[in-house]
Chain A
Amino acid sequence: MTGDQPLTLRPYGARALLAEVPDAPTRRALTAWLESTEHSGVDIVPAESTVLLDVSDMSVDESTAQQALRRLSAQLRDLDLTTLPPATASSGSLHTIDVRYDGPDLTTVAEQLAMSTDALIRWHASTPWTVEFLGFMPGFGYLTRADHNREVDRRHSPRSAIPTGSVGFAGSYCGVYPRSSPGGWQLVGHTEHVMFDVHGTGATAAPNDRITFQAVR
Chain B
Amino acid sequence: MRHLEIVRTGPQCLVQDLGRPGLAGQGVTLSGAVDRRSLIQGNRLLGNAPHAPGLEVLLGGLELQPDAPVLVAVTGAWCPVTVDDTPAAFGTPVLVPSGAVLRLGTAHRGLRTYLTVRGGLEPLGAFAGSWSTDTSSGIGPAQVLATDRIPLGNQMLDPPEVGAVPPATAPAELTLRMTLGPRPADLSSADRSTLDRASGTIASNSDRIGIRLNGFELTGKPAGRPSEAMPLGAVQAPPSGELIVFLADHPTTGGYPVIGVVDARDLDDLAQCPPGTPVRFAVRPPPAH
Contacts and interface: CB of A to CB of B under 8 A. Distances in A.
A69 B263 CA distance: 17
A47 B263 contact: no
A13 B234 contact: yes
B128 A202 contact: yes
Contacts of A196: 26-27
A132 to B, nearest CB: 11
Most buried by B among A44, A58, A136: A58
Contact of A59 (B23, B27, B50, B137): B50
A49 B28 contact: no
A56 B233 contact: no
Interface stretch (B102-110, B175-183, B200-208): B175-183
A70 to B, nearest CB: 5
Interface in B150-180: 179
A57 B128 CA distance: 14
Q: Size range of the interface on B? A: 35 or more
Nearest to B253: A135
A50 B183 CA distance: 13
Interface string B220-231: 000001111111
A103 B228 CA distance: 28
B23 A202 contact: yes
Contacts of B25: 43-46, 133-134, 206-207
Given A11-B286, A136-B251, A139-B26, A50 B229 contact: yes
A45 B261 contact: no
Contacts of B258: 12
Interface string B277-289: 0000000001111
Contacts of B26: 134, 138-139, 196, 202-203, 206
A14 interface: yes
A46 B264 CA distance: 23
A203 B27 contact: yes
Contacts of B179: 11, 13-14
A122 to B, nearest CB: 30
B57 interface: no
B241 interface: no
Most buried by A among B225, B229, B260, B287: B229
A15 B231 contact: yes
B271 interface: no
Interface string B55-74: 00000000000000000000
B228 A14 contact: no
Interface of A: 9-18, 43-50, 52, 54, 56-59, 62, 66, 69-70, 73, 133-140, 179, 196, 198-199, 202-203, 206-207
30 contacts: A12-B182, A13-B181, A13-B261, A14-B179, A14-B287, A18-B181, A45-B25, A45-B253, A46-B25, A48-B227, A50-B229, A54-B229, A54-B231, A56-B231, A57-B22, A58-B21, A58-B36, A59-B18, A66-B287, A69-B289, A134-B25, A135-B227, A136-B227, A136-B252, A137-B27, A137-B136, A138-B139, A179-B137, A198-B127, A202-B26
